[in-house]
Amino acid sequence: MKRPTAVTELIEELKRLPGVGQKTAERLSFFLMRSKVDQATKLANAIHNIKDKIILCSVCHGITETDPCGICSNSSRDQKQICVVEEPHDVYVMENMGYYKGVYHVLMGVISPLDGIGPDDLNIERLIHRASRSETQEIILALSATVDGQTTAHYIGEKLTRQPVYISRLAHGMPVGGELDYLDDGTLAQALKARAKLEI
Ligand code: ZN
């Protein structure tokens, strides 16, 4: 028997989410069908709101409801340090650690030749511009220990060689292939404290 179109549509949309395969999508769809109208509506509204109310900060590209975001506009944050991360959620990983007091720059991905992502697809030009301001003293590259993450780190390092800015990267100890959110707060804080100059 064929499924009603609305169910098929929901399953197909859920399958687009990272980590959700056919089985999980079906399970979630049937869960939502059985749930109270109120619960399903809350979920639908929450999804609608993140598209409606959440924007990217024009300075750092972090996600925010105000522009500039709460971190960029906070005068007690150290504007001399810019921590470069791959995705908006990495900002939360760093913030949860509670040790970092500088500001951020979100690249919106990494250079990945296999996926056809080049430097121009990322938020790199704006970083070069921010790095050129006199108040910027250090760029901390908090990118994943993957081939793509390291390629991106080197590309940025080369782009910034003429700028009088210190470029550091998180200390080794990051698991190879590891991304920021795989690290517990203690390990991440340690990798940040022991950061070293990026060698080009
Ligand atoms: Zn911001």
Cα of 59 to ligand 1 centre, how many Å? 5
Rounded to an integer, what distance in angstroms lies between the CA atom of residue 25 and that of residue 29?
A: 6
Which SS3 state, helix, strand or coil, does residue 167 take?
A: strand
CA of 64 to the centre of ligand 1 (A): 8
Digits of tens for pLDDT over the chain (200 positions)?
788 899 999 999 999 998 999 999 999 999 999 999 899 999 999 999 988 999 999 999 999 999 999 999 999 999 999 999 999 999 999 999 888 999 999 999 999 999 999 999 999 999 999 999 989 999 999 998 888 999 999 999 999 988 889 999 988 655 555 677 777 888 888 889 989 898 87
Structure tokens at 115: 């996926």
22 Cα to the center of ligand 1, angstroms = 37
Give me ligand 1 centre to Cα 109, in Å: 17
Q: How far is CA 97 from CA 48, 93, 124, 186, in A?
A: 29, 7, 25, 7
Per-residue confidence (pLDDT) for residue 184, from 0 to 100: 82
Query: What is the reported pTM?
Result: 0.81
Is the C-alpha dihedral spanning 137, 93, 116, 154 positive or negative? Answer: positive
CA 44 to chain centre: 24
Report pLDDT for 145: 84
Task: Identify the pLDDT of residue 175.
Answer: 58
Q: Is the dihedral of CA 123, 88, 94, 71 positive or negative?
A: positive
Q: Which residue has the tokens 């500039």?
A: 68
Res 76: pLDDT: 96
Single-letter amino acid code for the residue at 78: D
Give distance in angstroms: CA of 68 to centre of ligand 1.
5
199 CA → ligand 1 middle, Å: 28
